[in-house]
Amino acid sequence: MNVEPLEIHPSIPAPSANRDKWTVEAIKKLFEKPFIDLLFEAQKTHREHFKPNAIQLSTLVSIKTGGCPEDCGYCPQSVRFNTGVIDDDLMKLEEVVQAASTAKANGASRFCMGAAWRGPKDKDVVKVAEMVTAVKSLGLETCATLGLLKEGQAEVLKNAGLDYYNHNIDTSSGHYEEIISTRTQDDRHDTLQRVRDAGVSVCCGGIIGMGESRDDRADMIVQLANMDPYPQSVPINNLVKVQGTPMADVDGIDPIEFVRTIAAARISMPKAMVRLSAGRTDMSDEMQALCFYAGANSVFYGEKLLTTPNATAYGDDELFARLGLVPGDDVAL
């Protein structure tokens, strides 16, 4: 089936809808490659589509924190877990604009607004749409992550100027029910289809280190790579363990295996922005450098990711300087 490419930021090439499908076995073979060979292939793929030393900076702000009725086992914003997160009201428009202005002044080219809802009410979408329009007027790319969308809501956000909608599949189809019971992975795919149908670019990835196997990681990558088209932005999160959540004491993932996951994402989705997301505070500079070599070319920038710590702007600036990475929004060839 031929699919028209989505209208996305002009510097980001649209993924091709006409391509062979990936299989779990094919992705597993990538994971099984000698590490140096895998990184070499990922770096070659990266250089075919992106400037090798360019990196996009994004800022994520929680516009509505806490009180979520879902039971996602990793999330401190769930009302089901005692994590100390307070249920706050939706931020005021002027507060969001101020946060976006600060983010731009600090070098961010993309601003993402996150709300702890199962899904927004129509009245909430109208308010967020006003925020999107205001942030867009500052010259920033806009992204929102608001939970499950109903019919027509993605169109409202699109008309307001939304560039990306983030909605992760989180993990493999088999491991998903071990993490979440209040909504299915199919529910997530339904929202992603509504986003695509509205002409909004998709930001979709997952979380690594939730007790999943390598087969699970391969399944997650296959789900992403076989979307039609695959996501324009693919955030790969390293689980941030928060006391009070069911995932607080899960065994962490081997850093080399995490880098392998980044490389598999880059090879299977060559034109996507691969975003190194949550968990960077627990990564050494050397681990992050390997992730960038494996094809990650975007990070969240600032001191906080919704309710969990993020690498500080100062620390990022220092690391980028050491690695010779140049921040900007013009990252594609």
Q: What is the pLDDT of residues 269-327, one digit of tens each?
A: 999 999 998 888 889 999 999 999 999 999 987 555 545 555 555 578 889 999 999 99
d(Cα 275, Cα 234) in Å, to the nearest integer? Answer: 6
| Tally of domains within the chain | 1
Residue 110, in any domain of the structure: yes
Across 22-38, b (16+ Cβ under 10 Å) vs e yields: bebebbbebbebeeeeb
The residue range of the domain holding 208 is 24-323
Residue 120, in any domain of the structure: yes
Span 59-112, pLDDT tens digits = 888 999 888 889 898 988 888 887 777 778 899 999 999 999 998 988 889 999
Q: E strand or H helix at 176, and its extent?
A: helix 176-179
pTM of the complete model: 0.89
Residue 235, in any domain of the structure: yes
Q: Which residues are catalytic, by number?
A: 68, 72, 75, 112, 143, 203, 275
Query: For the purposes of burial, counting CB atoms within 10 Å of the CB of 94, is it exposed (0-12), middle (13-18) or buried (19 or more)?
Result: exposed
Residue 197, in any domain of the structure: yes
Span 259-285, pLDDT tens digits = 999 999 999 999 999 999 888 888 999
In Å, what is the CA distance from 105 to each residue of 99, 110, 114, 232, 313? Answer: 10, 12, 20, 25, 11
> Please, which residues have CB within 8 angstroms of residue 129's CB and are 6 or more apart in sequence?
156, 157, 159, 160, 162
CATH of the domain at 204: 3.20.20.70
Span 119-135, pLDDT tens digits = 999 999 999 999 999 99
